[in-house]
Structure 1
Amino acid sequence: MANNGIIVGGVIATAAIIFAVFVSFNAITDNGTGELIVTNGNHAETIGETIGVVKSYDYSLIDIFEKSEESVVQVNVLRGESDGGMGSGFVYSEDGYVITNQHVVRDAQKVTVTFLDGESYIGEVIGTDQDLDIAVVKVSPSNTYLQPIKIGDSSKLKVGERIAAIGNPFGLSGSMTSGIVSQIGRLLPQESGYSIPDVIQTDAAINPGNSGGPLINMKGEVVGINTAIQSATGEFSGIGFAVPSNTVKKVVPVLIENGEFKHPWMGISGTDVDPELAEVRGLKSSKGFLVVSVIEESPAELAGLLGVTETKEMDGREFALDGDIILAIDGKTVRKISDILVHLQREKSIGDDMVLSVNRNGEMLELTMVLEERPR
């Protein structure tokens, strides 16, 4: 059966691949011209609900900028004699840790961090996570007071809530844009083949050079790291994405301590149930995730999950006639793959148990899985 779906713990989305926004330049040939890397197509699943009432704001946009600007930095990178780039970042702690995107510092031979006062310092990449597009850079400034910005709770964000983005678009340092939270719980595919779950969608303008900068709520707290846009034209079209701050809070301390973050892993691939598959299988609902294949000796195989062994072609499409359908994890309904990935990211670590509620050819089963480290 053709696998039109996704790999759990390594999700490959069929709808769109979205690459990060980053100013890249060749110091010899193009004199700093920005290049926007985007992709075409529609995006994946929506998770989260629209809230009609937006709570009152604690600060004005002017207040937000004045409160935050000292914490936002410019990150310049050299990858060779001529290749380099520029992104943004923000101060995480007073002892010199700065957060940015992994793609900003990828393959960097030299990293320079510039602060609001104009002082620049050499940065050392302490830890990175390619799959979540997060990096930590360490600086030791001698003349600059480091002003960390508070990390907020991204799980409290509501659709329609006002936010602001601060960064260095096209090298224009300390630039601010504003907008709203357009949606929460997006799934953002990465070049690595994995996907970032629980991503924030915003209409605040994000352009080349904004990568790694903070997305800030109206309390002046970081709720995300500006990471990517989606566009069919190569220009900002009102759809930007940010890695949620709760992911930052979970991952960054581990990156500082160990240089890497180890992800929990299930070891299955599959596809979301849709109305056509539900009809063929005689299901009452089109919710759930169909397990297409199970990796040998993976947590999924040890838990007893079964993949597809029998298919049938109908109207030009191949349908799975068997294979477990995951309907819930730890008592939480699984509508789409996004629900599984968000649960893994928010709640689970390597070695944790996870209880799966499964439909196996009409029989309801509960299977317990012990999560292992994701293979590299």
Structure 2
Amino acid sequence: MRASLIAIIVVVGVVASLLAYYNYNINLFNPSQVSSPQPGVQEGNHVNAQPGGVPNTAEQTGMQSSQEEQGREGRRLTLTELFKYAEQSVVQISVQKGSARGIGSGFIYDLQGHVVTNYHVVENASRVNVTFLDGTEYRARVVGVDPYTDIAVIKVDDVSRDKLRPLPLGDSSKLEVGEQVAAIGNPFGLSGSMTSGIVSQLGRMLETANGFNIPDVIQTDAAINPGNSGGPLLNMYGEVVGVNTAIASRTGEFAGIGFAIPSNTVKRIVPVLIEEGKYRHPWLGVSGRDVNAEIAEILGLKEARGFLVIDVVANSAAEKAGIKGGSRTVTLSDGSMIKVGGDVIIAIDGNPVRKINDILVYLQRAKSVGDQITLTVVRDGNVMDVRATLLERPNPLESP
């Protein structure tokens, strides 16, 4: 029974080299095994307040700019106030995937009925329904998806405007380790559940079940379980600072390590998904290894930092720029073999590169398809600059 609740699992390395599972938290179940979830708790008797407790009387547009000016300038909320403020903006998402049904979460993005959730919640769904806090359910359609960041936008049509209470997007770059946050969602189909915790770390790399690496991810100890996927991670000013997406666990249930896609990534990608249905990610086209002490010794590097290029993808931006891949194979002390002789990337546009995450975060935050970048590399013992024009990352949904 417990195994049936685990949707997608991939094995990755975590702190102290322990093996764990990244569990993507859509609660999938067989209709014959689990009864239908309850429709949600009773609607609260409160006004929809802006962050800091100010009643919301202003018209909100599809973009969040006017709301972003609120946030940290307003009053810090208690957990009780935060829940009352946000509860009616969080929805339950029910999906049909073949013979199985699934439950995830999402939050209202704008007054046009757009809802932000995770890509893996609606991936391959033949039917998507949205249930509001008062139990009313509506059919939804998928507007746009981005598997590379696990973000999706769905839209509820023909819903009364008073049900649409968008949450403001905060600035995730202002988050600090130790800051209090709260998650609201539908774990195991339990509608409108809230948990709280802190920001455990920032800038994590999350490997998805599809094999993609999502950079710049927020780590939190706020309890996240199957069914929480797509729900908001909120700061204490009522702003969405992340979209809950995964946990690291050996059992498939929460073990103190949860992950959320940062709100600044949402700000960049969601408007494009609404307009175009997909997001064009800038792409360099290299694979390799982060330089550790052993690799640095083999390469004769003074410092154990940088990204060793092992392979260069054909027709990629890296190949067109002349980035060099590995040419000979060596065996490391753990018995694994790698190709060396390729470029070691130590900076991108003057920003130091310690590992691949630094490259991916920079591209995600600051660059678009067609932009030029300058890579500083160590090649055959010499430091040199290489100019590259970023191409579009191949779309896995379109590639054969």
| TM score, norm. by length of structure 1 | 0.87
Paired amino acid for 2:100: D
Q: Is the 8 A contact 2:107 2:117 kept in 1?
A: yes
Q: Is the 8 A contact 2:23 2:252 kept in 1?
A: no
Paired amino acid for 1:96: G
Residue 247 (structure 1) aligned to one of 265, 268, 280: 265
Q: Is the 8 A contact 1:117 1:144 kept in 2?
A: no
| Separation (CA, whole Å) in 1 of partners of 2:156 and 2:324 | 49
| Separation (CA, whole Å) in 1 of partners of 2:74 and 2:256 | 24
Structure number with higher relative contact order (C-alpha < 8 Å, ≥ 6 residues apart):
1
Aligned to 1:193: 211
The CA deviation at 1:228 is: 0.5
Paired amino acid for 2:123: R
Query: Quick one: structure 1 residues 289 and 56, their matched pair in 2 at CA, closer, same or farther if it must change by over 3 Å?
Result: farther
**SS of alignment partner, residue 67 of structure 1:** helix
User: Is 1:163 matched with 2:167?
Assistant: no
Stretches of structure 2 lacking an aligned partner (at least 5 in a row): 1-10, 15-19, 38-72, 396-400
| Separation (CA, whole Å) in 1 of partners of 2:180 and 2:347 | 33
Residue 275 (structure 1) aligned to one of 284, 290, 293: 293
Residue 380 (structure 2) aligned to one of 355, 361, 369: 361
Aligned ranges 1:14-93 → 2 under 5 Å: 18-31=22-35, 58-80=76-98, 82-93=99-110
Residue 112 (structure 1) aligned to one of 105, 129, 136: 129
Query: Quick one: structure 1 residues 261 and 186, their matched pair in 2 at CA, closer, same or farther if it must change by over 3 Å?
Result: same
Identity, in percent, stands at 56
- Could you give the per-residue CA deviations for residues 160-185 of structure 1, whole angstroms, max 9, x where no partner exists? 00000001111111110000000000
**SS of alignment partner, residue 18 of structure 1:** strand
Query: Quick one: structure 1 residues 321 and 73, their matched pair in 2 at CA, closer, same or farther if it must change by over 3 Å?
Result: closer
| Separation (CA, whole Å) in 1 of partners of 2:381 and 2:355 | 19
Query: Quick one: structure 1 residues 330 and 210, their matched pair in 2 at CA, closer, same or farther if it must change by over 3 Å?
Result: same
Aligned to 1:50: none
Aligned to 2:371: 352
- Could you give the per-residue CA deviations for residues 267-319 of structure 1, whole angstroms, max 9, x where no partner exists? 11111001001111111111100000112221101111101112333654545
Q: Is the 8 A contact 2:317 2:389 kept in 1?
A: yes
The CA deviation at 1:143 is: 7.0
Q: Is the 8 A contact 2:21 2:249 kept in 1?
A: no
Aligned to 1:98: 115
| Separation (CA, whole Å) in 1 of partners of 2:249 and 2:386 | 41
Q: Is the 8 A contact 2:74 2:237 kept in 1?
A: no
Aligned to 2:249: 231
| Alignment size in residue pairs | 343
Paired amino acid for 1:132: T
Paired amino acid for 2:91: V
User: Is 1:331 matched with 2:350?
Assistant: yes
| Separation (CA, whole Å) in 2 of partners of 1:219 and 1:333 | 33
Deviates more, 1:308-317 or 1:270-279: 308-317
Aligned to 1:137: 154
Query: Quick one: structure 1 residues 314 and 173, their matched pair in 2 at CA, closer, same or farther if it must change by over 3 Å?
Result: closer
| Separation (CA, whole Å) in 1 of partners of 2:372 and 2:143 | 31
| Separation (CA, whole Å) in 2 of partners of 1:77 and 1:314 | 46
- Could you give the per-residue CA deviations for residues 25-73 of structure 1, whole angstroms, max 9, x where no partner exists? 111244369xxxxxxxxxxxxxxxxxxxxx9971111111111111000
- Could you give the per-residue CA deviations for residues 133-176 of structure 1, whole angstroms, max 9, x where no partner exists? 11111012137431000001111111000000001111111110
**SS of alignment partner, residue 340 of structure 1:** helix
| Separation (CA, whole Å) in 1 of partners of 2:75 and 2:298 | 50
Query: Quick one: structure 1 residues 17 and 324, their matched pair in 2 at CA, closer, same or farther if it must change by over 3 Å?
Result: farther
Query: Quick one: structure 1 residues 308 and 14, their matched pair in 2 at CA, closer, same or farther if it must change by over 3 Å?
Result: farther
| Separation (CA, whole Å) in 2 of partners of 1:213 and 1:314 | 43
The CA deviation at 1:116 is: 1.5
| Separation (CA, whole Å) in 2 of partners of 1:281 and 1:13 | 27
Paired amino acid for 1:336: K
Stretches of structure 1 lacking an aligned partner (at least 5 in a row): 1-11, 34-54
